[in-house]
Amino acid sequence: MNRFFSILFSLALMASNAGNAYAQWEHLLHKTYRQRFESLNDIYIQILNDRDTTSAFASLTSMRNFATLHHDSDLELEVDLLKAYYLTFWHKSQTVRITGMLQDLSERAVAQDNIEINARAHKVLGDYYWADVKNYELAFETFIKQEALLNKVNTDELPDKTYHLTNIAHAYHNFSDYKKALSLFRQVLTLKFNPDMHAGHNSALHTIGVIFRQQGNLDSSDHYFRRVIRREAEGNYQFWAAIAKGGLGENAYIRGNYTEALPLLQANIDEAVVQKDFGLAAESLIIQANIYLKSNALDKAEQLALLARRYLTSPNPDRYRHFQDLYPIFVKVYAARGNAKLAGAYLDSALLARDSLTNKYNAKLLMRAHQKIDIQEHRSEMEKADSEKKLKTIERNLSLALMLIVAVGSVYIYSNQRKRHRQAQHLKELKIKQKEQELENATLQLNDFARNISEKSRQIELLENKQGPDAEALSQLRKSTILTQEDWDYFKKLFGKVHGDYLHRLREKFPDLTQGEMRFIALSKLGLGYQEMSATLGISSHAVRTTKYRLLKKIDVPDDRSLEEVVMHI
């Protein structure tokens, strides 16, 4: 019993814990990305700061289960995006897993018509290709797809759209594609400003100013730096104003306006130190050192250069790009003081730094070129494989189609043959029936002919035996009984239908037979007696016997057989 209550208590505790865990996600349920934006920022920071992957994933699993339980598919996608993003932070080497998760997430976002998740998944994937995989070509391809998605949403739907576009623009600027970078940064300036931690609007204004300086257009560069100072956008104004002043100070230095340049550069240095952006501070210090060097104030130039070098010792991977500008100051200072050895050492370092940066940039260009070739070759192989697959599919389909055509053709031919066979068989049966009918009709007519002759012969016999015969009636009856040529032709036609070519065979076997003998044999085959033959042929019974006697001799009938037997078997 105690064990039973213990189990119930454990289940109740688990349910309570699950309820408490789920409660923290309720404010995210069935909201748009815009409505979740601020809360999601806090959640992202919380999860990404948890170095314990088991703990972080447990929180994400709880969040996802809550979303699934409440049928919030958009929140499910959000959790999966955060999980992939977490892996890019703490498990960068799991390339296959990360790219697979993000590509799958993109496909699901398309299926759910969630452009915001799709665009953000592309950003995470593009940044991962860029910063971690170092595959710049794949990164740019991903950015291009991301840009197409960004064109379909506004900042009300995607509050961090400014940051997305700025991120892509900086990638193009990194490879000195100024035209594309300017186009994207100017697009940023047209967007409705949404204050966030990235300050995309001020970043765009500042970078456009830098690009115009790199192109030698200092007036346009000044214009964009001043727009930052005029406070067009909210955000950390003091920091961005200081950066813009540093940009104006560098432009003044390039023009040779040193008096104007120094305070502007100093304003940038002071704010950069406060913000602990020592690389930015060192950049303006190097320019100031150059100004004092040109004024032959060697001690001040050395002092500023040493301070800049101290700032550049901080663990900032971008610090090395400043060495090519810093070391020449030491070269000139120590050369002016006659310290050739130290000047030579710094000259070697300056040349090494410059060559290192040049080689690094060229290596990136070369790497991207190779990556482009590799991708093209991979695509060619994929297209070839796809073409071969399609060709095999086509060949298979053609084979199946051919087999189907042959099968259908065979069935059609077989059906036609059966149909023709049935038709021929039916026609044959019809002909047989027709012939049988004709034979039956001819037999009936021939029998009627014989019966008619027999009846008339009996009538003649009766009239002859009667006292006082009617001579005229007897004469008319005899005339109607005697076969005329026309009657004989009709008789032969009927006889032929019933007995086939009997008369023809008879003529071939006995070519010497007379017409009268042929008629005798035909009537004999009908089974007519002498009296009936006599009436039919119009001759006397004695003449019929004489005809039979001549036939016996002519056809040489054996003694053991009768004429009728011979006649029946011809």
Instruction: Please give the C-alpha separations between residue 211 and each of 180, 181, 383, in angstroms, as whole numbers.
Output: 11, 9, 39
**Of residues 394 and 222, which shows the higher confidence score?**
222
What number is the average pLDDT over the span 502-509?
78
Which segment, 18-22, 235-239, 308-312, 399-403, is predicted with the most confidence on average?
308-312
Alpha-carbon distance of 249 to 256, in angstroms, equals 10
What is the domain partition of the chain in residue ranges?
Answer: 482-568
User: What local confidence, expressed as pLDDT, does residue 12 receive?
Assistant: 41
Alpha-carbon distance of 37 to 28, in angstroms, equals 10
Q: What count of other Cβ atoms lies within 10 Å of the Cβ of residue 300?
A: 15
Could you tell me how far CA 6 lies from the centroid of its own chain?
57
Which segment, 315-319, 328-332, 510-514, is predicted with the most confidence on average?
328-332
**Of residues 448 and 169, which shows the higher confidence score?**
169
**Of residues 24 and 304, which shows the higher confidence score?**
304
Which segment, 26-35, 234-243, 390-399, 504-513, is predicted with the most confidence on average?
26-35
**Of residues 15 and 369, which shows the higher confidence score?**
369
Architecture of the domain defined by 482-568 = Orthogonal Bundle (1.10)
Confidence band, pLDDT 50/70/90 cuts, at residue 1: very low
Q: Mean pLDDT across the chain, nearest whole number?
A: 82
User: Is the per-residue pLDDT at 5 higher than 50?
Assistant: no
Among 79-83, 129-133, 149-153, 314-318, name the one with the lowest average pLDDT: 314-318
Over the stretch 71-113, which tens digit does the pLDDT of each residue have? 999 999 999 999 999 999 999 999 999 999 999 999 999 999 9
- Which of the 8 DSSP states describes residue 467? S
Instruction: Please give the C-alpha separations between residue 384 and each of 170, 185, 378, 389, in angstroms, as whole numbers.
Output: 35, 39, 10, 8
What number is the average pLDDT over the span 347-358?
76
What number is the average pLDDT over the span 136-164?
93
**Of residues 268 and 477, which shows the higher confidence score?**
268
User: What local confidence, expressed as pLDDT, does residue 9 receive?
Assistant: 37
Among 207-211, 321-325, 381-385, name the one with the lowest average pLDDT: 381-385
Q: What count of other Cβ atoms lies within 10 Å of the Cβ of residue 272?
A: 23
Confidence band, pLDDT 50/70/90 cuts, at residue 514: confident
DSSP 10-26: HHHHHHHHHHHHHHTTG
**Directed axis angle between helix 323-336 and helix 298-311, to 10°?**
150
Alpha-carbon distance of 121 to 210, in angstroms, equals 30
| Residue percentage of the chain with pLDDT more than 90 | 45
What number is the average pLDDT over the span 23-49?
91
Confidence band, pLDDT 50/70/90 cuts, at residue 415: confident
Residue type present at position 433: K
User: Is the per-residue pLDDT at 285 higher than 50?
Assistant: yes
Confidence band, pLDDT 50/70/90 cuts, at residue 48: very high
Radius of gyration of the chain from its Cα atoms, rounded to whole angstroms? 60
User: What local confidence, expressed as pLDDT, does residue 193 receive?
Assistant: 64
Residues in the chain: 570
> Which among 279, 220, 291, 215 is positioned nearest to 250, based on CA atoms?
291
User: What local confidence, expressed as pLDDT, does residue 462 receive?
Assistant: 61
User: What local confidence, expressed as pLDDT, does residue 195 receive?
Assistant: 57
Confidence band, pLDDT 50/70/90 cuts, at residue 351: confident
What number is the average pLDDT over the span 256-280?
95
User: What local confidence, expressed as pLDDT, does residue 461 receive?
Assistant: 61
> Which among 487, 481, 567 is positioned nearest to 532, based on CA atoms?
481
Instruction: Please give the C-alpha separations between residue 559 and each of 37, 235, 473, in angstroms, as whole numbers.
Output: 133, 147, 43
Alpha-carbon distance of 334 to 346, in angstroms, equals 9
Alpha helix positions (H), 33-135: 33-48, 53-69, 73-90, 95-111, 115-127
Q: State the DSSP H helix or E strand holding residue 239, giving kind and residue range, or none if neither.
A: helix 237-255
Query: Do 69 and 31 touch, CB atoms closer than 8 A?
Result: no
User: What local confidence, expressed as pLDDT, does residue 109 receive?
Assistant: 97
- Of the CA atoms within 13 Å of residue 82, those in its CB half-sphere come to 26
User: What local confidence, expressed as pLDDT, does residue 474 receive?
Assistant: 46
Among 24-33, 172-181, 423-432, 509-518, name the one with the lowest average pLDDT: 423-432
What number is the average pLDDT over the span 143-158?
94
| Residue percentage of the chain with pLDDT more than 70 | 76
User: What local confidence, expressed as pLDDT, does residue 196 receive?
Assistant: 52
User: Is the per-residue pLDDT at 538 higher than 90?
Assistant: no
Confidence band, pLDDT 50/70/90 cuts, at residue 344: confident
Tokens found for residue 379:
């695509």
